[in-house]
Structure 1
Amino acid sequence: MTTVRLLRPLAAAVILAAGLAACVSTTQQGATGIKRQQLMLLSSSQVDAMAVESYNGELSKAREKKALNTDKANLERIRRIADRLVPQVATFRSDAVSWQWEVNLETRDELNAYCAPGGKIMFFTGIITKLKLTDDEIAAIMGHEIAHALREHGRERMSQAYAQSAGIGIIGAVTGMSQGTGELVKTAVQVGLTLPHSRGQESEADIMGLELLARAGYNPNAAVTLWQKMGEATGNTSGSFTSTHPGSAQRIRDLQAAIPKVMPLYEAAKRNPPAARAIVPRT
């Protein structure tokens, strides 16, 4: 019993030391100053590989249903917007410009969109057509989702789940933890692959996305009108795109507070429009 009591704090110390060594900030600060340290125990290549596999699986399912990229007009809209937004990612991390970016559109009623690790973007037609989105509002959504990928929020969530399971595993090794508990640990890691973003991550993506769209010459105020529309459409209740996001009222207040920081970038982009680069392949 004495040995176990001694090993428990030792195990905790080992986990803490490993966690501190793996704390980084995945992006430069930009004008909005996001610099939070993140726990990253898994490599980007590991997470990107899993993301590509998952994304390709989603494309295959949509293709089988004849629902992939069938709305040609809106497909070209979102790809054109991406061509303006993606060059701006260099502000936060230079390597992201050379990611294998991809933008696709699934005919689906959900109010949803996402950007998987490594730059794999998916929009559902429902969010565009039901909310009658302008190009600026589409850019607000896309900037937000790109920010999640730049900050590697998915990798961060998976690392947190991995840290928890590793801690339980070490303690289990010295306490005789049951096999059943070990299976729970494995489940926790699997859940870590699909956990929704935390509210803190969502707020980061809001503010960084705001800067991306301003630098690309899209009106930052569109982020506010977007969430006003979203609140009206969902009644401020949980939905696929809003389930883990801060409430619309709080989100709008936070965005309004941040807009003055990025308005000079927008005004500069209006005076000298940034060149759009054909980064997203047309297939």
Structure 2
Amino acid sequence: MNKTLMVSALSAALLLAGCQSVNTTSGGAVGVERKQYMFSMLSTDQVNQMYAQSYQKTMGEASAQGALDKTSNDAKRIQVIADRLIAQAPVFRPDSAQWNWEVNLIKSDELNANCGPGGKIMFYTGLIDQLKLTDAEIAAIMGHEIAHALREHGREAMSKAYGIEMAKQGAGALFGLGQDSLALADTVANYGMTLPNSRGNENEADLIGLELAARAGYDPNAAITLWNKMAKASEGAPPEFMSTHPSSGSRIASLQAAIPKVMPLYQQAKK
């Protein structure tokens, strides 16, 4: 075994040694069942508290700049949509009913939205204005972001990054590798492990978000019109192989395949 492969093997061994296998959510109708590996020393509460501090700082800065929208019709829209989605979150994760959920609208042309650990939601006006989103399309985006929080994808990424860094330092000392070799090992780890898993996380968020929106009474077909709009707005994006996000075509195909699984939930919610 050459030195680079030994680094990769040691990285995997150290990562698994400090990790515990967890199932953060139920699978739901869409069947997201993947086991996740989290560093035991990095707890859910710790990550939630760290992110809450960062979120409050961001909201404070936005407020100081006059960019925090609390009163517009769009601000009221996203609050109503968020409330309906949050009410369905315990279906996947019962303890989320005790989270201190927050939702805020930021005045920005950026096409972005986020739900951080512990249920801290940010939505940007650029998404609503530039893509002319319907309520169901907003629910598709927000459901996707909430799914990331429910699945603890942030904590999972932090655990992975911590394990890689720990392994790199230990392996570098053990094998006497130079910086060039370590840089190569980093690249291999990044494209060989981190990015495929990140694309997998995006797919999980798509599927759980689709079900959350359907259970909240929003037409799941809106996810298709949303991503068609996003594809047009993001022409020239990097190819799927080099991106943490699936290509629009593969994303839409995955969503279309899952819609029949959640359509009965939407029809029941409408009643």
TM bin (shorter chain) = 0.7 to 0.9
Over the aligned positions, Cα root-mean-square deviation in angstroms equals 2.9
TM-superposed CA distance for 1:237, in Å, is 2.3
Partners in 1 of 2:118 and 2:201 — Cα distance?
17
2:33 counterpart letter in structure 1: K
Match of 1:61 in 2: 61
Cα deviation 1:1-39 (Å, max 9, x = unaligned): xxxxxx9899668626525x5121211111111011111
Measured against aligned partners, the alpha-carbon deviations of 1:89-129 in whole angstroms (never above 9, x if no partner) come to: 11111000110000001100011000010000000100011
Q: Which residue of 2 aligns with 1:119?
A: 119
Cα distance, 1:235 vs structure 2: 2.2
Tell me by how many angstroms 1:167 deviates. Answer: 1.6
Q: Distance between the aligned counterparts of 1:130 and 1:9, measured in 2?
A: 44
Verify: 1:40 aligned to 2:38, yes or no.
yes
Per-residue deviation, 1:168: 2.3
- Determine if contact 2:88/2:216 at 8 Å carries over to the other structure: yes
- Tell me the equivalent position of 1:227: 227
Q: Give matches, 1:130-145, under 5 Å.
A: 130-145=130-145
The match for 1:88 is 88
- The Cα shift of 1:174 comes to 4.0
Change (3 A) 1:10 1:264: closer
Cα distance in 2 for partners of 1:108, 1:80 equals 20
In the TM superposition, 1:70-219 aligns within 5 A as: 72-175=72-175, 198-219=198-219
Alignment gaps of 5+ in structure 1: 1-6, 272-283
Question: Comparing 197-206 with 78-87, which one deviates more in the overlay?
Answer: 197-206
Contact 1:71 1:105 survives alignment (8 Å): no
> Aligned-pair distance for 1:198?
1.4
Change (3 A) 1:46 1:248: same
**Distance in 2 between residues matched to 1:237 and 1:174, nearest whole Å:** 40
Structure 2: give runs of 5+ residues left out of the alignment: 1-5
TM-score (norm 1): 0.80
SS in 2 for 1:265: helix
Cα 1:106–1:9 shift into 2, 3 Å: closer
Q: Which moved more, 1:104-113 or 1:244-253?
A: 244-253
Give the distance between the partners of 1:233 and 1:11, measured in 2 at CA.
42
Deviations 1:115-159 (A, max 9, x none): 010000000100011111000000000000000000000100010
Are the equivalent residues in 2 in contact too, given 1:23–1:40 (CA < 8 A)?
yes
Pick one of 8, 21, 24 that aligns with 1:23: 21
The answer to whether the 8 Å contact 1:107/1:124 transfers is yes
- Are the aligned partners of 1:71 and 1:107 in contact in 2 as well (CA < 8 Å)? no
TM-score w.r.t. length of structure 2:
0.84
Q: Which AA in structure 2 matches 1:18?
A: A
In the TM superposition, 1:231-242 aligns within 5 A as: 231-235=231-235, 237=237
> CA deviation digits over 1:168-224, x for unaligned, max 9?
23334545678x89xx9xxx9xx9xxx998111101100010000000110000000
Distance 2:102 2:48 in 1: 13
Q: Give the match's secondary structure for 2:115.
A: strand
Number of corresponding residues: 252
Residue 165 of structure 1 and its aligned partner are, at CA, apart by 1.5
Q: 1:150 to 1:262 in 2, by over 3 A?
A: same
CA distance in 2, matches of 1:46, 1:247: 33
SS state of the match for residue 131, structure 2?
A: coil
Q: Which has the higher helix share?
A: 2
